[in-house]
Amino acid sequence: MTERYVVAVDGSRPAEAALRWAVQRAKHDPAPLLLVHVEEDEAGTMGQEYEQFAARQGAQLLSQTMAELLDASPELSVSSVMVTGSVPWALAGVVHADDLLVIGTGKTGFLHGRVLGSRSVQIAIAVACTVAVVPEVDLRFRRGVVAGIDRHATAGSVARCAAREARARGEELLLVQAIPETAQRFSAAERDRLAITEALAIARAECPELVIRSRVSTRRPAEALLDSARDKALLVLGPGSLDPVRSPIGSVLHEVLLNANAPVLIGRPAEDRQLVGPVGTGLSRADG
């Protein structure tokens, strides 16, 4: 279960979108909210007076944000903390393994965009918990969860996480795997050995009441995932690597984060945590 929803707060519009997303989940989950503001190292290099000003501004932002949240939703459990340092590593020092860290991103679906040092990528690399990267997009009319499946090692954990998210929302689940164009010549037996076949069986066993569909695409993986997610409420992915000494952000996940057009949930399969989204009634059948 999620221990806390940890939300990075800096007063920007992407951060506000991330906070709204986290609040909606917290309203249906007993896990508390922790608001975190990072006073970056650069403030100290601009002199003591500016550093003190930045600290006051950060404290005021946290205080005002907490007051507004509790005024609108007094049932929430909300606390805050201000830390200093580089944003990715400061956040990494705050989160616990079972937290869900929620961060905003200004990237909203411009495929092939490249921003060296993108904060969302840096943070996802640094922290050791599940991360939600939330773009500033209108989610009011979006429905459904899409899960990216790439290999057997993570197929089960991604499928379970995505199925639970879809069940909590009462919405459909779409599983997507991108394979080379040569796969068009695969036999039926070879296709049955794809990771998506395993993921589909696991998702149905986890949540048999869901409508679950699957799609094998011959497009580039990032393109296939972003295209599938453009009208969905959530995209669930696993890490790029399970090796603890390597970055969890592979090239596909890196490109997706730089061009996110839906909230992206990056799970940590080693923990296989159960995440709880907005409560829904669930659907009554499953088909491929």
For the stretch 244-277, pLDDT in tens is: 555 567 889 989 998 999 999 998 754 444 444 4
Question: Do residue 191 and residue 118 come from a single domain?
Answer: no
- Same domain? For 283 and 196 the reply is yes
Residues 171 and 276 in one domain: yes
Burial classification of residue 150, based on how many CB atoms lie within 10 Å of its CB (0-12 exposed, 13-18 middle, 19 or more buried): buried
Percent above pLDDT 70 for the chain: 79
Cβ of 110: how many Cβ atoms within 10 Å?
10
End position of a domain, from candidates 91, 109, 136:
136
Query: Do residues 78 and 164 both lie within one domain?
Result: no
23-27, 217-221, 236-240, 283-287: lowest mean pLDDT where? 283-287
**What's the pLDDT tens digit per position in 97-112?**
999 999 998 755 444 3
Q: What is the pLDDT of residue 132?
A: 96
Co-location of 179 and 49 in the same domain: no
pLDDT at position 241 over 80: no
Pair 230, 286 in one domain: yes
Predicted TM-score (pTM) of this structure: 0.84
Asked whether residue 146 falls in the same domain as residue 277, the answer is yes
User: Averaged over 69-77, what is the pLDDT?
Assistant: 94
Q: What is the percent of the chain where pLDDT is above 90?
A: 59
Q: Stretch 161-174: mean pLDDT, rounded?
A: 96
Answer yes or no: is pLDDT of 280 > 50. no
- Domain extent for 204: 142-288
Please give the pLDDT value at position 285: 30
3-class DSSP state for residue 169?
helix
Mean pLDDT for all residues in the chain? 83
| Pairing between β-strand 130-135 and β-strand 100-105 as defined by DSSP bridges | parallel
pLDDT bin (cut points 50, 70, 90) of residue 39 is confident
Distance CA 205, CA 203 (A): 5
Q: Taking residues 40-63, what's their average pLDDT?
A: 76
Domain CATH code at residue 102: 3.40.50.620
Asked which of 41-50, 154-163, 221-230, 261-270 is least confident by mean pLDDT, the reply is 41-50
Shared-domain flag, residues 161 and 130: no
Is 4 found in the same domain as 130?
Answer: yes
Residue with tokens 């975190």: 36
Please, are residues 82 and 55 in contact by the beta-carbon 8 Å criterion? yes
Please count the structural domains in the chain. Answer: 2
Going through the chain in order, the beta strands assigned E by DSSP cover 5-8, 33-39, 78-84, 100-105, 130-135, 145-148, 173-178, 212-217, 234-237, 264-266
Q: What is the dihedral of CA 196, 165, 269, 95, to 10 degrees?
A: 150
Same domain for 103 and 153, yes or no, is no
Measured CA to CA in angstroms, residue 181 lies from 186, 216, 222 at distances of: 10, 11, 15
Q: Are residues 146 and 132 in the same domain?
A: no
In this structure, the answer to whether residues 163 and 261 fall within a common structural domain is yes
Model confidence at 157, pLDDT cuts 50, 70, 90, reads very high
Residue 47: its pLDDT value, please? 61
Last residue of a domain, one of 114, 136, 158: 136
Q: Spell out the residues 6+ positions from residue 259 whose beta carbon is closer than 8 angstroms to its own.
A: 107, 109, 110, 111, 112, 113, 222, 226
Q: Which of 136, 167, 197 is the endpoint of a domain?
A: 136
Q: pLDDT value at position 29?
A: 84
